[in-house]
Amino acid sequence: MAIVKTKNSIVRVLKTRHLTNSTYVIRTKRDGLEFEAGQYISLGLPGNAEKREYSIYSGTEEDYIEVLVKEIDEGIVSKQLKQLQPGAHAEMDGPFGFFTLDEASRSGKELVFIASGTGIAPFHSFIKSYRGLNYKLVHGVKYGDEAYEFETYSPGSYILCTSRDNQGDYHGRVTDFLMAQPVKTGADYYLCGNSQMIHDVYDLLKDQQVGTDSIHAEVYF
């Protein structure tokens, strides 16, 4: 993996895109930030010690930075960022992290991306950054309207699992889907989302003879 230097900068907000009542994408100026798809940044208001870590949602070739944010009832930063209007400023640190794809993974290796909620963000960046990935994306959410910008993904490559309605491709949790479907032991698995999902899927994959070297995880919340 190439070494990417981190930086601290004040960036201008370009726009906010609301996907649901509580989930939005905030876009800022890139200001020369170099990153690898799968890395994350720390974002908050200028001069405020309160910042939160968000995986970069945009692709490496785009001239802006986007992050996918879920507003949390008891949260501080997610509410503050939601109120920022175009032209306002935010403070960004980073990039950080090693949840990235090597050259072999970008060049045709079979990949299975498994996400819960806004943990889909790094996979969105993978797919926007590297055209022609050989992937299947399994996304677990509560409701069908949380299929964030699903039109980004290749037809047949995105599987939506909904646990509280029947609007997805599969009614149930990601773990239920993976237990019902044959697991391919030759693929590489990338997991991102809440810690319980990651622990459960990790154990499930190991039980189905997927080697630990083929399982990569990023605990998102």
- Per residue in 156-214, pLDDT (tens digit) is 999 999 999 999 999 999 999 999 998 899 999 999 999 999 999 999 999 999 999 99
d(CA 157, CA 154): 5
**CATH of the domain spanning 103-219:** 3.40.50.80
b (16+ CB within 10 A) / e for 146-184: bbbeeeebeeeebbbbbbeeeebebeebbbebbeeeeee
Residue 125 has pLDDT above 80, yes or no: yes
Token pair 């309605």: residue = 165
pLDDT band at 128 (very low <50, low <70, confident <90, very high): very high
Max CA pair span of the chain: 51
CATH 3.40.50.80 region(s) of the chain?
A: 103-219
Q: Residue 190: what pLDDT?
A: 98
Residue 5 has pLDDT above 70, yes or no: no
CATH 2.40.30.10 region(s) of the chain?
A: 7-96
Residue 146 has pLDDT above 70, yes or no: yes
Residue 122 has pLDDT above 60, yes or no: yes
In percent, how much of the chain has pLDDT > 90? 93
Domain 7-96, CATH homologous superfamily name and number: Translation factors (2.40.30.10)
Q: Residue 196: what pLDDT?
A: 96
Q: Residue 21: what pLDDT?
A: 97
Q: Residue 7: what pLDDT?
A: 72
d(CA 215, CA 190): 6
User: What mean pLDDT is reported for the chain?
Assistant: 95
d(CA 77, CA 11): 16
